Amino acid sequence: MDTKSLLKKVRTIEIKTRRLSDHIFGGEYHSKFKGRGMTFSEVRQYQYGDDIRSIDWNVTARTNEPHVKVFEEERELTMMLMVDVSGSALFGTTVQRKKDLITELSATLAFSATQNNDKIGLLMFSDQVERFVPPKKGRSHVLRIIRDLIEYEPQHKATDFKAALEFMSSVIKKKAIVFVLSDFMSSPYDTAVRIAAKKHDLTGIRIFDPKEAVIPNLGLVPVLDQESDQVRYINTSSRRVRNAYQTSYQEHLNYFQETFKRAGAGTIDCAVTDNYVKKLLGYFKQRR
């Protein structure tokens, strides 16, 4: 994609998603993703009216004068967008590919975080970490993230969600809001999700095309595996083949939902044909 076309596409996505963030998601995001509470600031001498529960007894004993701990409310948050850029993200049979929806969703979430003056980071993964953009604030940083999502060409096509989660947990030391955008067609990753959810506010957003759920009866057809580049001929007229595929698909879906639920993490299912505005709003409103 040439520079002019890229900038035009970035601008188009910014106009659409920023409007959604400003008028729809800003308040919901702010109210549902709050700061981490109170962070220690300093110790000072006790003053009349101070809460005795804040007395620092160690310093008081050392100085023979009452001292209290001073805390400040910690409002700043960090949002991490973990984006699956494996071969299956290029799949799409209707108005857009999974990759296109992932880009719009990511931009909407990023601009919502910007309204809250939060930092936003990006981790793109296949079966390895493809690109890591450290969290920063501001519109220009969000636009850089959108450009990366549009133009980056992954080096690998397979998927290893577990390795990506482990990397994220190792580089993001403080609690963060983490959105994982993927079709979640790889496994296992239950242990990595459980560990990440203990440290971070984790949400898995499953992006899928409804045509992936079933194989139509079309006879013997060549099928390209986007993640291995292998072409296989499948006898779709066989009910056993169609049922086996549907069973496998449902198993991946159940594994995703049950794994995140057991870990205390959130989930969103969003088809490329869905209104993602309603999906995000519904999710934000149901959070406590």
Residue 26 pLDDT: 59
Give the separation between CA 121 and CA 239, rounded to whole angstroms: 45
Burial class (CB in 10 A: 0-12, 13-18, 19+), 173: exposed
N-terminal to C-terminal alpha carbon distance within the chain: 43
Report domain extents, the chain: 3-32+76-211+252-286, 37-74
Residue 121 pLDDT: 97
| Lookup: tokens for 176 | 């963060």
Q: What is the pLDDT along the chain (288 residues), one digit of tens a residue?
A: 666 676 677 777 777 777 777 666 656 666 666 555 555 667 888 887 777 888 999 999 999 999 988 765 455 789 999 999 998 887 766 778 889 999 999 999 998 888 878 899 999 999 999 999 999 998 899 999 999 998 999 998 888 989 999 999 899 988 899 999 999 988 789 999 999 999 999 999 999 998 888 888 888 888 777 667 788 888 888 899 989 989 998 999 999 999 999 999 999 999 999 988 888 888 888 875
Own/partner pairs, 39-46, CB within 8 angstroms, 24+ separation: 39/71, 39/72, 39/73, 39/74, 40/69, 40/70, 40/71, 41/70, 41/71, 41/72, 42/69, 42/70, 43/67, 43/68, 43/69, 43/70, 44/68, 44/70
Give the separation between CA 105 and CA 240, rounded to whole angstroms: 37
Own/partner pairs, 277-284, CB within 8 angstroms, 24+ separation: 277/20, 277/24, 280/25, 280/105, 280/108, 280/109, 281/24, 281/25, 281/28, 283/203, 284/25, 284/28, 284/29, 284/32
Cβ contact 164:125 at 8 Å: yes
Nearest one of 205, 156, 154 to 178, comparing CA atoms: 205
Residue 250 pLDDT: 92
Residue 80 pLDDT: 97
Highest CATH level, class, for 3-32+76-211+252-286? alpha beta
